[in-house]
Structure 1
Amino acid sequence: MKHKEYSIPFSGLKQGKHEFDYLIENRFFETFGYGEFNAAMVNVTVYLNKTSTMLELTFKEKGSVNVDCDLTNEPFDLPIESTMDLVVKFGEVYNDENDEILIIPHGEHQINVAQYIYEMLVLAVPQKRVHPGVADGTLKSKALDTLRTLQPKEEKEITKENDPRWDALKKLITDK
């Protein structure tokens, strides 16, 4: 079974709250075929509340992933933090169509949380990744210097040259 270290055997647990800790590194994402991160160091805690009829899972993650800046292509550590709730109920057949409710067959004795951890971490990273040095001006990069020189100039910087053809047309408008 893939990712068996992320399986939580709930059948032997007493009713009540339980805690499971995981350290997620880049090799975790590589097993999913996800190569967007240069490196990852994220602590994930899964809180399990077992009742007689269902399981309530709360995922909390905090850490950082090393990604490339979308503007300068410079690598940087991006801090991420998020939470996610999942309710596990028991039914006749496996059903994961709902994002917040998972139905597993009555005979199951464990739940694998690897897919949920993966999705939570990937979705915690913003779509546009900008190096913090770009915003505060501390990053020195050749790509950033090129972007600054190619940036459109403001209105007051552009010198307006008068075209005599337009001057004649403007005169017609004001001569009403």
Structure 2
Amino acid sequence: MKPLKEFTIPFVGLKIGKHHFEYKVEQAFFEHFEYEDFNDVNIDVNVELEKKSTLLELHFKISGWVNVNCDITNEPYNQNIENNFDLVVKFGDEYNDEYIDILIVPHGTYEINIQQYIYELSILAVPIKRVHPGVNDGTLDSDILKKLEELSPKVKEKKEKEEDIDPRWNTLKKLLTDK
């Protein structure tokens, strides 16, 4: 996959200290990754790069919303997302990204592309189960919800359940209370 130039940070010319970078991520970013679960995207990404003499520390913070379909009703809604991530970039003999929060790049590297980290942070910030807020508070009026309510199994009352219990169990219950 071809890296997007706007997410490449040339750190070789930066002074030692903290540097801030801001990005606006929209739907085209996820189309580049061929990720089609989002209907629309509006995410702000703040990256704080702290350059030290032997390594780089990056702190990612994303916030915004993604428009996804509800898992229950398939109605689209805006899901708010937030996520943080810290990455340490060290210099070594060869490229190594085996560790979650440590990236080793070869000596002589002068820039780093952060698009993959932004992509993963955004995807992982979305809850596993996507439920429209109207489903939880009962304000969503949907044909699917009405049909699910109609087809859901009805819960019998507790009295009916007690009548269905085998009478031999009642004798055993007495043993527990005779202590």
TM more than 0.5: yes
In the alignment, structure 2 segments of 5+ residues that lack a partner are: 172-179
Q: How does 1:38-49 map to 2 (within 5 A)?
A: 38-49=39-50
Match of 1:138 in 2: 139
2:114 matches 1:113: yes
**1:159 shift after superposition:** 7.3
Aligned-partner SS, 1:152:
coil
Q: Is the 8 A contact 2:3 2:113 kept in 1?
A: no
Match of 1:81 in 2: 82
Match of 2:96 in 1: 95
Distance 1:158 1:133, change over 3 A: farther
**1:2 shift after superposition:** 2.2
Match of 1:129 in 2: 130
C-alpha distance after superposition, 1:4-53 (max 9, x if no partner): 11000000000000000000001100100100000000000110000000
Q: How does 1:7-26 map to 2 (within 5 A)?
A: 7-26=8-27
Q: Is the 8 A contact 2:18 2:49 kept in 1?
A: yes
Query: Once superposed, what is the RMSD of the aligned Cα atoms?
Result: 2.1
Match of 2:176 in 1: none
Aligned-partner SS, 1:12:
coil
Task: Give the residue type in structure 2 aligned to 1:137.
Answer: G
Aligned-partner SS, 2:157:
helix
Alpha-carbon separation, structure 1, partners of 2:17 and 2:27: 33
Alpha-carbon separation, structure 1, partners of 2:151 and 2:85: 42
Task: Give the residue type in structure 2 aligned to 1:111.
Answer: I
Alpha-carbon separation, structure 1, partners of 2:37 and 2:110: 34
Percent identity of equivalent pairs: 54
Match of 2:177 in 1: none
Aligned residues: 167
Match of 1:149 in 2: 150
Aligned-partner SS, 2:6:
helix
**1:150 shift after superposition:** 1.2
In the alignment, structure 1 segments of 5+ residues that lack a partner are: none
Match of 1:65 in 2: 66
Match of 2:33 in 1: 32
Moved over 3 A (4+): 157-160
TM-score, L = length of structure 1: 0.89
**1:152 shift after superposition:** 1.5
**1:157 shift after superposition:** 9.3
Distance 1:151 1:99, change over 3 A: same
